[in-house]
Amino acid sequence: MTLTKQEKQSLIDLANAARGRAYVPYSNYPVGAALRTKTGRVYTGVNIENAAYPQTMCAERVAIFKAVSEGEKEFEVISVVTDNGGSPCGGCRQVMAEFGLDTIVLLADRNGNLQKEMTVRELLPEAFTPEKLAK
């Protein structure tokens, strides 16, 4: 799948706008995500922190869980915007892998500048996927 520069920027802008709604009173590191499914619908997510730190939820997983809760399970692209273009955590990488190693991942900074583009397969080599489970 090939994305135009305009499509990429639109998803980055949506993630960056969502970022403003992040709940980050502890880290002060807002993250926004925008996920486009194969049906063309877009779901956004933000990181939501909690005083009990393990209960914190990442923006990428919020967007994915919103999509799945609406019946979407096939994704084309996810944009992730952080202050400095930071990469998704291991847990988010694994959740992304669950729904497709060919999903494109766009990483951008707070100014909306694309820092890196890759697939989930490149982001998580040797991913544990549903196909690895014994039948």
* Adjacency order of strands within the sheet including 114-119: 42-46, 32-37, 75-81, 104-108, 114-119
Q: What angle do CA 124, 57, 26 make, to 5 degrees?
A: 115
Annotated catalytic residues are 60
Count of other CB atoms within 10 angstroms of residue 41? 12
Whole-angstrom distance, CA of residue 26 vs CA of residue 75: 31
